Structure 1
Amino acid sequence: MTTSDRDPKEAPPVQGGTPPEWHSLSTEAIRQKLGTGPSGLSANEAWMRLERYGENVLREEVRETPLQVFLRQFRSVLIIILLIAAGVSFFVGAILDAAAILIIVVLNAAFGFTQEWQAGEAIAALKKMLVQQAVVIRDGRQQEVDAARIVPGDLVVLEMGEQVPADLFIVEATSLEVDEAPLTGESSPVDKAPGPLPPETSLAERSNMAFAGTTVVNGRGRGVVVATGMTTEFGRIAGLSQRVRDETTPLSRQMDRLGRDLGVIAVGIAVLAVIVGLLQQRGLLEMFLVGVSLAVAVIPEGLPAVVTLTLALGVKSMMRRNCLIRRLPASETLGAVSVICTDKTGTLTKNEMTVVRVRTPDAEVTVTGTGYAPEGGFLRGDDPIDPLADPGLGQFLRTVLLCNHAVLAGDGEKGWRVLGTPTEGALVVAASKAGLSREGGPEAEEEFSFNSARKRMTIIYREEEGDVAYVKGAPEVLLARSSRLLLGGSVVPLTEDRREEVLAEIGEYASGGLRVLGAAYRPLPDGAERTAETVEEDLIFLGFAGIVDPPRPEAAEAIRLCRSAGIDVIMITGDNPLTASAVARGLGLSGEGALTGADLDRLTDDELKGRLRTTKVLSRVTAEHKLRVIDILSRERSVIAMTGDGVNDAPALKKASIGIAMGIKGTDAAKESSDMVLVDDNFASIVAGVEEGRREYDNIARFTRYLLSSNVGELVAIVGGLLLGLPLILIPIQILWINLVTDGLTAIALGFEPAEPDVMRRRPRDPTEPLLTRNALLVILILGIWLGLLTIYVFSGLYTVDLERARTMAFSGLIIFELYNVLNFRSFRFPLHRIGVFSNPTLFLAILGTLALQVLVVYVPFLQPFLGTAPLTPGDWGLLALLGLPVLVAGEVYKILRSRVEKDAPGSGESPETG
């Protein structure tokens, strides 16, 4: 019974996704199981199945609304503490203080929202349109339908250049080749043909299936839909990706920890100060004011805004290095990476198949030049040769050019590209390097197409001397059908000894990671029967070519740089192990052999953990394998960057510390699951991003510690004055002015500090190490106490004569002392003359700007009441400048002594600001 005759009320078959039995069944069994036939489904049956199974679409994670992205900016513990501080200030009547805190919090949130939303829009711009229409057979007629309305049992027509709309079982195929790289990572197109396969056949080797999201690159065919929507392999992986939770970044965890610690300290000190003040019989209102001042002094109000701005500036710098950051903290996370799990094709390699060697019966020839640009030459040994003057090489190149459908397009300015399969394109490029072209050549008369069973292709041309069959394919297949070979320009018999020698040479090429393709030809006798079997016999063997996807020239240097930076690199690919290992060796990616997905399945977690220390190539892996590798590495406290471009990479991209999707060849699923998009798909850009990320973290550490040392100074001044029975040295609005405006400007300028020269010679930092290490806390306390005591000294000498002027001196003095101090925090390892006094001009502009603002609030009459200031004399400013100078001198002396002791040795992985 055909589907057109089915009872509309009869229940359609149950859709079982893509279980192992689909590829192990015959065509007839598939049709029977799905209730379909050569005429396809009826329109009525298709409608009923659509009602039952739903549309052929993926359930996508709902993108955050603008409001959700904005509210996410308030999740930080530090932001919550600032909001509480604003509430307390409002409660005690310090309205101006409360307003200032709220303004900075809202501005910080707005800035973070702008950056993240723009990144989301950039991702949307990178997205490519998914398949919208598909051709199916229904009611025996070929018709175009919306791909979303395809159902199990539909008979889909596949043509070159089209995307596969659902998971299909192939029932007809003519030279059908499918690019499955987005799903399996296989770098070469996969030949497709009908026929059952063993149940245990892996996904990458299911040659009788075509999967949703892959692309037909050659030939044509038909397939029966066995799975749609979320039950396809594409959908299964998308579902796996949606179940993976986003990982928090090391910086986010450190900032939350810092916020909690500061909150506890602020409350504790404020409460203690109020109790001490009440015991001194001070007024309750005065002590409330003191408590608020201390809370404000402890919390660096400008820190969240400075961190956000610094990360945003880092995002801009990353973009200049071809790294599009989707979320602000990811730019810093990249700098903490200790392991990079990288794809091979297009990331470490150019993704442009290239002929590198040709072996004819006469000799082996090296072909120079990489990629699709027809630029290069031919060498025998070290000597250049004219390939067309060599009869054997010339005939080989002419044969692979004529027995070919690929077209080389483009030019040197716009870039070269191949229209057709990459392997055929590589042969066309090699022939072009010899000056050969199909233009003006003979016309093809007949073709016997390539398929996975024949493993060869033949095109017959009408030549002046008669018809000639040009054949290319698997060299061992052509060798078996050859009785002669071209040697020294003459056709000679192919002996068994020579046949064995050629097979051994083919094996050497293949074991070296080269894709090997042979060529042969045969002049055809007139009037002879012309079938594939009769034409493809008694061939004249011409030799074979070694084809490789060449490594990117800059990738080897990038891997060497990773090694010097203490970053482990692991290649994880869906490609075959021989090819992957050969590429790894060429790039200097040292390790012990390669592990396949099957090997991973046999190893326990502990065994795999041990192997990952020495094995740097994982091939033929699935999405589940990648997640398992990330889990194992994460237990070692590694910060993991995972690159990927395919649907199968999406779960791992989401699970990794930082997921890096490819911008050129990456799928939408990969981009949406990533933290960063690599605009140029180049591994070297990742390493450049790591350097930028390390610079960002160093700068965040610099200004965080600088701001906290300033806050310690404010705290010492207020608490010290309280214990000495002095009036309140700094009022809350003055502390806010210091924290938000003057310290904020210089802290932001520290974010522009260039990377130190050894930034990529330090080991990655421990992600569990706090932002404030023991050494850093010691430096913060020493400098902060010094600043605080200087401020008390300035205030105590004047308050009995003129309290307002004394407070202005203390207020301005603390700012000047901190401006000296900010120069200390540019580096705690190198003195100023080593890093360059003016290497960060932004900082000196910030220092001048801070001084100008302070002069304004001291002398402009309408600003004086708001900040409680009074005019100062030039002598007052001179005294403050002299008092602060030893702060800088002491820091420089310390760094000079330290640099002499260390003899400028590279750091041990500790941040340069640990002191």
Structure 2
Amino acid sequence: LQGNLPLEEVFEQLSTSRCGLSSADAAERLQLFGANRLEEKRENKVLKFISFMWNPLSWVMEAAAVMALVLANGGSQGPDWEDFVGIVCLLIINSTISFIEENNAGNAAASLMARLAPRTKVLRDGQWQEMDASVLVPGDIISIRLGDIVPADARLLEGDPLKIDQSALTGESLPVTKRTGDLVFTGSTCKHGEIEAVVIATGIRSFFGKAAHLVDSTEVVGHFQKGAITKRMTAIEEMAGMDVLCCDKTGTLTLNHLTVDKNLVEVFSGGMDRDMIILLAARASRVDNQDAIDMAIINMLSDPKEARANITEVHFLPFNPVDKRTAITYIDSGGNWFRVSKGAPEQILNLCFNKDDIAEKAQRVVDSFAERGLRSLAVAYQEVPERSRHGDGGPWVFCGVLPLFDPPRHDSADTIRRALDLGVCVKMITGDHLAIAKETGRRLGTGTNMHPSAALFGRRGGDEGAAAAVEELVESADGFAGVFPEHKHEIVRLLQASGHVCGMTGDGVNDAPALKKADIGIAVSDATDAARAAADIVLTEPGLGVIVCAVLTSRAIFQRMRNYTVRLGPPCHAIASTTNVQFGTIMAISKDRVKPSGSPDSWKLNEIFATGVVIGTYLALVTVLFYWALTRTTFFEVATLVAVYAAVGFASISGVGWRWAGVIWLYSLVSYLPLDPVKVAVRYALSGEAWSLLLDRKAAFARRRRDYYGEEERRGAALSARRALSDHLLSSRTPRSA
């Protein structure tokens, strides 16, 4: 049902009334629509186990196992059962470990289902009953009150407005006011009020269910199509190739706690300072209220008890959507009566006696805050000479305007800067408003090239109004605002389609689909169970600094593998001999002090397989040559220095001389030196850049991306943004002129 339909049409389309459904109708609809829960997609355990044997590396092992039976089964020799059994056992062990780890990770849809309200009040057969949320059907009348988790998508009926916290669904940091006729979504929480509602969607058809469906239907995308291999259980190694990191703003880059920016508080009343205005705003707040704005103001005090210190509360007027303000009438320590009000600037301004004189200035301040993504809250006070809670009081005095914002985490800016230095493009994805996203980006240094979610469908916001290629827009944007789970999912898909290795961080239910879709899904430390289940990596410490450490660790792994496979001089049998004799060498490999790459690395499987085929063919031909030399010549009899000088008469052994010794040394050099030219030749044939890469000391098994979405320009923009922020903070500390 569309959200703008009149309630009467909603009742008509749902074939219900304000008296609710009968038990018979509800049972019939339950059969038609199904239970109000997310169907868990069950996988065949056997097929799941076998799937771990179906990937490029497993194919190589399986081919080797077959060759061990087929190629060795010639002449009088039987199959090479030892090698066959060894390869198969190794394959089974690897698959078993991967199966156990992924099975323990759990099902993301099950975690999403856990957020559904288990019990709810339903109007059935004309009576209110408490029933399981799973039996709700479209057309049911339900009751929603303070603290309830909304059990199904519903349209609100007549009654007082609600305040709904839907941050876990949309990323909005403030509770949203919902009035008669508005939609409320499954999984959101009621923070204030009580009202009845008619259910319009349940289960997988709800807004919450669509997000769960995205998580459950998303397939893991392997990097083999892009030149590398992806396995979810080895995501820490895959981070070496990550070149885009999409960050959710609320709770990830920010603290998800509203805060008053004290340095930006505008003072309008003479004789007052910023501390006094904050104290008055705190007095007009409920100390024990769950309201986010009240708690933000109370937290600005050194002690929450200061809000009621040395005063006696006479009457408190709570917030309502008509007046859009709160007010308190109190008696101070001197016995004087006062009334303080805080709320929407336009409403507070209308109370004041001198509104015509200060209206223009107040509007400029509010507009300035709005442009920077800050919410405005005005404060005013009056004396109450009547000494009565119902007294009209004296003239209202406009005190000032407070800016509200969701502050960034203390380490977010530094983490983003370090990520940019490592060649990782950071994009902010949020459900908040565009202005708030731009202000957060300015504070963190990610940039202000933000776009609304409508841009993902080919319509750009702003004054241009011109159509732009969605793929190019996603690549060039610093972030997107006002997005829903489908949008985040689409952003990750577009980045992957453009050939990028995409990471996604998040903490809420709304992040779960994108976390599942991303190449590397990262759930922060305080993430919901749904986000953790959908992610590949779960952080155990707050902030994003751990991600940078993980990137550096994964790149160190690549550098270590490169050093021992490409740049190491001795032939393979020399390495094997050394490690067999000195086991400390093997242990030292994992502790080498390698320097991580300053740019993304990723596996180039086409080059690895091509090089392996060429070198393998070369070694096979050499083996045939060795066999011929062993059976048809005396080549191997002249092998050592002993053979040159040996002269054992009773054993009929005599030295072969330096002529044959020279042949042995010449053969060793000729058979070893071609290995490196073969590598270079294969690389040149694949890319045509062998010599330039060789001269630049680039590895044959890793690649570096040079195009980081305009890295130099981005660094310059980030530096300019930080300088602008510094200049602003300095100017905000300068005393204002009268």
C-alpha separation in 2, matches of 1:754 and 1:913: 21
The residue aligned with 2:286 is 405
Please, what is the CA RMSD of the aligned residues? Answer: 4.9
The residue aligned with 2:371 is 511
C-alpha separation in 1, matches of 2:395 and 2:627: 100
The residue aligned with 1:457 is 326
C-alpha deviation, 1:582, in angstroms: 0.9
Alignment CA distance shift 1:398-1:801 (3 Å): closer
The correspondence for 1:596, drawn from 452, 460, 466, is: 452
- 1:658-678 Cα offsets, whole Å, 9 max, x none, are 23334523352x444333334
TM-score, structure 1 normalization:
0.61
Query: Residues 569-608 of structure 1: matches in 2 within 5 Å?
Result: 569-591=426-448, 593-601=449-457, 602=459, 607-608=469-470
C-alpha separation in 1, matches of 2:628 and 2:467: 60
1:337 aligns with 2:194: no
Kindly provide the amino acid, as one letter, of the partner of residue 108 in structure 1. N
C-alpha deviation, 1:543, in angstroms: 1.4
> Does the CA-based 8 Å contact 1:241-1:654 persist in structure 2?
yes
Query: Residues 203-214 of structure 1: matches in 2 within 5 Å?
Result: 208-214=182-188
The residue aligned with 2:511 is 649
C-alpha separation in 1, matches of 2:193 and 2:287: 12
C-alpha deviation, 1:652, in angstroms: 2.9
The correspondence for 1:74, drawn from 38, 53, 61, is: 53
C-alpha separation in 2, matches of 1:686 and 1:31: 50
Q: How many residues align?
A: 645
C-alpha deviation, 1:392, in angstroms: 5.0
Question: 1:476 is paired with a residue of what secondary structure?
Answer: helix
Alignment CA distance shift 1:584-1:792 (3 Å): farther
Question: 1:107 is paired with a residue of what secondary structure?
Answer: helix
C-alpha deviation, 1:332, in angstroms: 1.9
The residue aligned with 1:361 is 267
C-alpha separation in 2, matches of 1:572 and 1:31: 37
The residue aligned with 1:51 is 31
- 1:749-777 Cα offsets, whole Å, 9 max, x none, are 47624563352x23x23665646399999
The residue aligned with 1:346 is 251
For structure 1, list consecutive stretches of 5 or more residues without a partner in the other structure.
Answer: 1-18, 196-207, 257-325, 365-389, 408-418, 484-493, 715-736, 807-882, 892-901
Kindly provide the amino acid, as one letter, of the partner of residue 84 in structure 1. V
C-alpha deviation, 1:406, in angstroms: 5.0
The correspondence for 1:190, drawn from 176, 179, 184, is: 176
Query: Residues 423-502 of structure 1: matches in 2 within 5 Å?
Result: 423-432=293-302, 436-438=306-308, 442-443=312-313, 445-451=315-321, 453-461=322-330, 465=335, 468-483=338-353, 494-502=354-362
C-alpha deviation, 1:496, in angstroms: 1.9
The residue aligned with 1:231 is 205
> Does the CA-based 8 Å contact 2:366-2:376 persist in structure 1?
yes
- 1:516-571 Cα offsets, whole Å, 9 max, x none, are 222223344649795xxx97995332212112222122222222222222221111
Kindly provide the amino acid, as one letter, of the partner of residue 482 in structure 2. R
Question: 1:598 is paired with a residue of what secondary structure?
Answer: helix
C-alpha separation in 2, matches of 1:709 and 1:587: 49
Alignment CA distance shift 1:251-1:702 (3 Å): farther
Kindly provide the amino acid, as one letter, of the partner of residue 540 in structure 1. V
C-alpha separation in 1, matches of 2:113 and 2:203: 19
The residue aligned with 1:370 is none
The residue aligned with 1:84 is 66
C-alpha separation in 2, matches of 1:167 and 1:756: 54
Kindly provide the amino acid, as one letter, of the partner of residue 545 in structure 1. L
C-alpha separation in 2, matches of 1:174 and 1:678: 41
Question: 2:437 is paired with a residue of what secondary structure?
Answer: helix
The residue aligned with 1:757 is 595
Kindly provide the amino acid, as one letter, of the partner of residue 633 in structure 1. L
Question: 1:342 is paired with a residue of what secondary structure?
Answer: strand
> Does the CA-based 8 Å contact 1:551-1:587 persist in structure 2?
yes
C-alpha separation in 2, matches of 1:584 and 1:906: 36
Alignment CA distance shift 1:143-1:105 (3 Å): same
1:160 aligns with 2:66: no
C-alpha separation in 2, matches of 1:255 and 1:185: 33
The residue aligned with 2:656 is none
The residue aligned with 1:115 is 101
Query: Residues 676-715 of structure 1: matches in 2 within 5 Å?
Result: 676-680=537-541, 682-701=543-562
Alignment CA distance shift 1:913-1:517 (3 Å): closer
C-alpha separation in 1, matches of 2:7 and 2:395: 35
Kindly provide the amino acid, as one letter, of the partner of residue 601 in structure 2. R
> Does the CA-based 8 Å contact 2:223-2:229 persist in structure 1?
no
Query: Residues 281-430 of structure 1: matches in 2 within 5 Å?
Result: 327-357=232-262, 359-361=265-267, 391=272, 393-405=274-286, 407=288, 420-430=290-300
- 1:215-241 Cα offsets, whole Å, 9 max, x none, are 222333332211111111111233344
Query: Residues 524-673 of structure 1: matches in 2 within 5 Å?
Result: 524=384, 526=386, 530=390, 539-591=396-448, 593-601=449-457, 602=459, 607-666=469-528, 668=530, 670-673=531-534
Alignment CA distance shift 1:698-1:153 (3 Å): same
Alignment CA distance shift 1:391-1:801 (3 Å): closer
> Does the CA-based 8 Å contact 1:776-1:913 persist in structure 2?
no
Query: Residues 1-12 of structure 1: matches in 2 within 5 Å?
Result: none
C-alpha separation in 2, matches of 1:240 and 1:122: 10
Alignment CA distance shift 1:87-1:523 (3 Å): farther
Kindly provide the amino acid, as one letter, of the partner of residue 552 in structure 2. E
Alignment CA distance shift 1:68-1:682 (3 Å): farther
TM-score, structure 2 normalization:
0.74
Question: 1:471 is paired with a residue of what secondary structure?
Answer: strand
C-alpha separation in 2, matches of 1:134 and 1:797: 91
> Does the CA-based 8 Å contact 1:251-1:329 persist in structure 2?
no
C-alpha separation in 2, matches of 1:151 and 1:630: 34
Query: Residues 837-856 of structure 1: matches in 2 within 5 Å?
Result: none
> Does the CA-based 8 Å contact 2:522-2:535 persist in structure 1?
yes
C-alpha separation in 2, matches of 1:772 and 1:746: 28
C-alpha separation in 1, matches of 2:320 and 2:339: 14
C-alpha deviation, 1:580, in angstroms: 0.8
Question: 2:505 is paired with a residue of what secondary structure?
Answer: strand
Question: 1:559 is paired with a residue of what secondary structure?
Answer: helix
C-alpha separation in 2, matches of 1:528 and 1:911: 82
- 1:132-182 Cα offsets, whole Å, 9 max, x none, are 112233345443211111122222222222211101112245452112222
Question: 2:191 is paired with a residue of what secondary structure?
Answer: strand
- 1:585-641 Cα offsets, whole Å, 9 max, x none, are 1111135x3211123331599623333454312111233433443343334321111
The range that moved more, 697-706 or 216-225, is 697-706
C-alpha separation in 1, matches of 2:14 and 2:187: 22
The correspondence for 1:520, drawn from 380, 383, 398, is: 380
Kindly provide the amino acid, as one letter, of the partner of residue 352 in structure 2. S
C-alpha separation in 2, matches of 1:396 and 1:71: 67
C-alpha separation in 1, matches of 2:392 and 2:12: 38
Kindly provide the amino acid, as one letter, of the partner of residue 73 in structure 1. F
> Does the CA-based 8 Å contact 1:645-1:666 persist in structure 2?
yes
C-alpha separation in 1, matches of 2:452 and 2:507: 19
